[in-house]
Structure 1
């Protein structure tokens, strides 16, 4: 089991990493502004699921698999970077309309938001760096058992990410009236697109 120092260190490090601007946070704010709270939380569900996948990779030592399957991970890296560029293109050239507060969101839009969140996280260099480089510095992964992963790390990760990102969703929804015009949305979405292109370039550079 993890001691209190490790729990606090992991929580603080993860909270800071979640609050640092990146493609996931940019997409979360943009989606919350354009489609509302429910859509924002669906995208957040995808983001958290991606984090849990990388957490599992780190805990169970699957990072070492990359050394033996370098070609496969190279394909994944390029695929993730290209997907981020595709999302950036969509954000940049989106046809924005005035926001209708209270508009019902279709199930297809919610599913799309969740899948986008998952894919963005899997292709996010910041997330990869945290779980495969920073996490081993704050937690002794050799001492993490299946029980510790399931009963401590997974719930703690969900709680921290939900708490931090929910604040951004609530803030984005509260300022929707300030960003209701197509002009304001264009600036917001193009800012998110720029962050995604930067993330893709960072991934390819590494």
Structure 2
């Protein structure tokens, strides 16, 4: 069982890591600006699911398995980097979109946002480094049981990421009118593209 010090340390570290600009939050802001809050929260759900995946990897020792399947994970690493580059290309050449708050959001677009969030997190080197390298420094993983994982770490992770993500979404929605112009949107999307390229380079360099 985790003591309160470990819980607070994990919550604080996760909150700080989530708030640091990266591919996930860049995509979250861009999606919230272009598609609104609902679209943003769908992407956020995918981001959270990706974090829970790596949390489970760390807790149940699946990181050790990766060491014995190096060729497979090298392939995954290159695939993740290429996906981030593909997202960067989409953001860089994204066309100006007239923002209409009353325009209904299609269900297909919401599912695409969630899947995009999941894929971005799974290919995010910052997320990988946090759960597979920094998490063991904050929490004694040997003391984490299935019960602790399910009733403490999973809800805590969801709450922290939901809180941080909600702040980004609300901020993006509030400034949508500022980003209605073509030049403002271009700067936002190209900034997101640059973050994706840096993340892809970091993925290949590690």
Shorter-chain TM-score bucket reads over 0.9
Q: What is the CA deviation profile of residues 21-57 of structure 1, one whole-angstrom value per residue up to 9, with x for unaligned ones?
A: 0000000000000110000000000000000000000
1:52-63 alignment to 2 at 5 Å?
A: 52-63=52-63
Question: Which deviations, in whole Å up to 9, do the C-alpha atoms of 1:49-76 show, x marking residues without a partner?
Answer: 0000000000000000111000000010
Question: 1:124-163 maps to which residues of 2 (within 5 A)?
Answer: 124-163=124-163
- Output aligned runs, 1:6-21, within 5 Å: 6-21=6-21
> What is the CA distance between 1:97 and its match in structure 2?
2.1
Deviation readout 1:124-166 (Å, 9 max, x if unpaired)? 0000000000000010001100000000000000000000110
1:193 to 2:193 alignment: yes
Shift of 1:182: 2.0
Provide the rounded CA distance (Å) in 2 between the counterparts of 1:202 and 1:112.
25
- In the alignment, is the contact (CA less than 8 A) between 1:31 and 1:40 conserved in 2? yes
Alpha-carbon distance in structure 2 between the residues aligned to 1:97 and 1:111 = 20
Where does the alignment leave 5 or more consecutive residues of structure 2 unmatched?
none
SS at match of 1:99: coil
**CA positional deviation for 1:103:** 1.2
SS at match of 2:177: helix
- Answer yes or no: is the 8 Å Cα contact 1:99–1:181 preserved in 2: no
Q: How does 1:12-91 map to 2 (within 5 A)?
A: 12-91=12-91
**How large is the RMSD of aligned CA atoms in angstroms?**
0.6
Instruction: State the TM-score, normalized to the length of structure 1.
Output: 0.99
Following the alignment from structure 1 to structure 2, what is the Cα–Cα distance between the partners of residues 9 and 187?
A: 36
C-alpha distance in 1 between matches for 2:157 and 2:24 = 16
Q: Secondary structure at the match of 1:100?
A: coil
Paired with 1:175 and 1:103, the residues of 2 have a C-alpha distance of 18
Shift of 1:178: 0.2
Structure 1 runs of 4+ off > 3 angstroms? none
For residues 104 and 91 of structure 1, the distance between their equivalents in structure 2, rounded to whole angstroms, comes to 22
**SS where residue 176 of structure 1 aligns?**
coil
Unaligned 5+ residue runs, structure 1?
none
**Matched residue pairs, number?**
206
How many angstroms apart in 2 are the aligned matches of 1:190 and 1:41? 22
1:122 paired with 2:119, answer no
- Look up the match of 1:179: 179
